Amino acid sequence: MRSILRMAGVVALSLAPAVVLAQGVQRGSGLPTPLPLFPPDNWWNVDISGAPLDTNSAGFISFIGTNRGLHPDFGGDVDPEDPNLPDIYGMVYITVSGTQPLVPVTFVEFGSQSDSGAPGRPAGYPIPDAAKTGIRWIEGGTPANLSQAGNDDHMLLVDRDNRILYELYHTYWDAGQNRWEAGSGAIYPLDSNQRRPDTWTSADASGMAILPGLIRYDEAFGTAPIRHAFRFTVRSVNGYVYPASHNAGNTPNALPLGARLRLKAATNLSGYTPEVQRIFQAMKTYGLIVADNGSDMYIQGAYDTRWNNDVLNPAFSSLHASDFEVVQLGWKPPVATVTGALAFYTVSPCRLLDTRSAFGPLGGPALTTGSQRVVTAAGLCGIPVTAKALALNVTVVTAPAPGSLSIFPGDGAPGASTSISFGVGQTRGNNAVAKLSSSGSGTIGLVSTTGPVNVILDVTGYFQ
| pLDDT number for residue 327 | 98
Instruction: Look at residue 63 and tell me whether its pLDDT is greater than 90.
Output: yes
- The angle formed by the CA atoms of residues 357, 360 and 365, to the nearest 5 degrees, is 60
Rounded average pLDDT over 175-201: 97
SS3 248: coil
128 pLDDT more than 80:
yes
- Model confidence pLDDT, tens digit, residues 367-400: 999 999 999 999 999 999 999 999 999 999 999 9
Q: What is the arithmetic mean of pLDDT over 178-194? A: 97
Whole-number Å distance between alpha carbons of 451 and 441: 27
Q: Give mean pLDDT, residues 137-163.
A: 91
Per-residue confidence (pLDDT) for residue 6, from 0 to 100: 29
Q: What is the DSSP string of 300-333?
A: EBB--TT--HHHHHHHHHTSBGGGEEEB-TT---
Q: At residue 13, does pLDDT exceed 60? A: no
pLDDT band, residue 336 (cuts 50/70/90): confident
**In the predicted model, what is the mean pLDDT of residues 326-346?**
90
Question: Domains of the chain, with CATH numbers?
Answer: 19-326 (no CATH), 344-463 (2.60.120)
Q: At 149, is the pLDDT very low, low, confident or very high (cuts 50, 70, 90)?
A: low
* Average pLDDT, integer, range 35-60: 98
Instruction: Examine the pLDDT at 7 and tell me if it is beyond 90.
Output: no
| 84 alpha carbon, distance to own chain's centre | 32
End-to-end Cα, the chain, rounded Å: 60
At 21 the pLDDT is: 59
Confidence band (pLDDT; 50, 70, 90) for 150?
Answer: confident
Q: What is the three-class DSSP state of 464?
A: coil
Decide if pLDDT at 148 tops 70: no
pLDDT at 262 over 90: yes
Higher pLDDT, 298 or 22: 298
Check residues 11 and 107 and name the one with the higher pLDDT.
107
Average pLDDT over residues 207-222: 98
Give mean pLDDT, residues 45-64. 98
> What 3-state DSSP class applies to 347?
strand
Q: Which of 6-15, 150-159, 200-209, 452-461 has the lowest mean pLDDT?
A: 6-15
- The whole-number average pLDDT for the span 394-410 is 96
What is the SS3 assignment for 28-93? CCCCCCCCCCCCCCCCCCCCCCCCCECCCHHHHHHHHCCCCECEEECCCECCCCCCCCCCECCECE
Strands 443-448 and 372-376: antiparallel
**pLDDT over 90, % of the chain:** 89
